[in-house]
């Protein structure tokens, strides 16, 4: 499979898997075995021993799938198909592929990486919202200085694909209070959203941009969390917060004796 010699390995993603990790993964015969099972690659009556032979069989089968109008993978880029197969295979590859998509067990595991990222970006988390104000998981502000302007960010954390719709509703409600709004999740969650979308009644084929399109429609950005690392993979729409609403919050906060 050709990825392109000059393709950026750390910013290019397929099924939300970083290209660098994808290229390393396909060197492992166990991971390729799992991918072959997931894609239904025929073995031609004999087992394939080398990673090169397995990859060649995968390439050939992917081209068949891409050319079949009845296939889920019709017209989908080969690397996207391969990465999606690895995502499915991560549970059945004897542990070899389990960490590729940086799964987390609980949403709370996303809190510290986001807090560290916000601190690095010069933001301070705000904890003084009054009751009745729309809520998202993290609200942070940046004080204007010589090289920066005052900004307010909202970040919603997500680790369950079936909670995407409520998360988007909360983000839409809170967006008028912010300059920018992000959804933050693991690559595994983002890939799971694509899987869920592909199983929907209106989906004819796999849509690599389905998740991005949902977020972009609301003007939301996407942050992917891989261990301690946080990457912006979709920039949010910049807004001008509703000053009147911000002042209402400030007045209520002061009246309640809450910290600013």
* 165 and 244 housed in the same domain: yes
Would 73 be classed as within a structural domain? yes
- Residues 127, 239 within the same domain: yes
Decide: 155 and 138 in contact? Cβ < 8 Å.
yes
In a domain, 96, yes or no: no
CA-to-CA distance for 126 and 128, rounded, in angstroms? 6
Q: Specify whether 122 is located in the same domain as 71.
A: no
**Domain end marker among 89, 116, 145:** 89
pLDDT recorded at residue 259: 47
| Co-location of 248 and 125 in the same domain | yes
Task: Give the domain-ending residue among 63, 89, 115.
Answer: 89
Q: Does 83 lie in the same domain as 112? A: no
CATH code at 189? Answer: 3.40.1350
| H or E element, residue 245 | helix 243-255
Domain boundary among 89, 118, 150: 89
| 245 and 182 together in one domain | yes
Burial of 123 (0-12, 13-18, 19+ CB in 10 A): buried
Pairing of strands 17-18, 180-185: unpaired
Q: What is the dihedral of CA 168, 121, 212, 26, to 10 degrees?
A: -130
Q: Which domain holds residue 19?
A: 13-89
Q: Is residue 100 part of a domain?
A: no
* Domain assignment present for 97: no
Torsion (CA) 35, 37, 40, 43 in degrees, nearest 10: 100
What pLDDT was estimated at residue 95? 64
Structural domain contains residue 230 = yes
Same domain, 117 and 243: yes
Report yes or no on 6 lying in a domain.
no
* pLDDT given for residue 71 in this prediction: 93
Asked if residue 117 and residue 85 are part of one domain, the reply reads: no
* pTM of the shown model: 0.87
126 within some domain = yes
Residues 148 and 53 placed together within one structural domain of the fold:
no
Q: Are 215 and 183 in contact (CB under 8 A)?
A: yes
87 touches 211 (CB < 8 A): no
| 139 and 184, same domain (yes or no) | yes
Whether residue 152 lies inside any domain: the answer is yes
pLDDT beneath 70: ranges in the chain: 43-47, 92-96, 128-133, 144-149, 243-260
Count of domains for the chain = 2
| 176 in the same domain as 116 | yes
Contact 159, 198 (CB under 8 A): no
Cβ-Cβ contacts under 8 Å for 161 (sequence gap 6 or more): 189, 192, 193, 195, 196
pLDDT digits (tens, 9 = 90+) for 181-209: 999 999 999 999 999 999 988 888 999 99
Question: Which residues neighbour 185 within 8 Å (Cβ) at sequence distance 6 or greater?
Answer: 110, 157, 158, 159, 222, 223, 224, 225
SS (H, E, C) 24-59: HHCCCHHHHHHHHHHHCCCCCCCCCCCHHHHHHHHH
Claim to verify: residue 161 and residue 49 sit in the same structural domain: no
CB 86 within 8 A of CB 17: yes
- Look up residue 55 and give its two tokens: 């990859």
Alpha-helix runs per DSSP H in 18-139: 19-25, 29-39, 51-67, 78-89, 111-120
């Amino acid at each position: 499979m050709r990825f392109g010699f000059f393709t950026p390995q750390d910013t290019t993603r397929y099924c939300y898997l970083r290209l660098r990790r994808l290229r390393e993964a396909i060197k492992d015969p166990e991971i390729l075995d799992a991918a072959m099972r997931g894609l239904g690659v025929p073995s031609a009556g004999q087992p394939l021993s080398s990673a090169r032979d397995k990859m060649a069989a995968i390439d050939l089968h992917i081209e068949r799938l891409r050319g079949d109008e009845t296939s889920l993978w019709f017209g989908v880029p080969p690397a996207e198909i391969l990465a999606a197969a690895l995502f499915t295979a991560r549970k059945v590859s004897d542990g070899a592929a389990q960490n590729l998509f940086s799964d987390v067990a609980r949403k709370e595991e996303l809190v510290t990486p986001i807090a560290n990222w916000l601190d690095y970006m010069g933001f301070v988390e705000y904890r003084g919202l009054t009751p009745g104000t729309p809520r998202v998981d993290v609200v942070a502000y940046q004080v204007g200085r010589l090289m920066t302007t005052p900004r307010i960010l909202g970040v919603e954390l997500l680790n369950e694909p079936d909670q995407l719709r409520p998360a988007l509703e909360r983000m839409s409600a809170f967006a008028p209070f912010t300059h920018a709004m992000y959804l933050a999740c693991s690559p595994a969650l983002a890939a799971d959203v694509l899987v869920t979308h592909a199983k929907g009644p209106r989906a004819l084929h796999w849509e690599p941009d389905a998740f991005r399109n949902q977020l972009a429609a609301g003007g939301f950005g996407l942050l992917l969390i891989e261990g301690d690392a946080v990457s912006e993979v979709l920039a949010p729409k910049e807004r001008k917060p509703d000053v009147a609403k911000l002042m209402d919050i400030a007045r209520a906060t002061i009246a309640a004796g809450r910290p600013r």
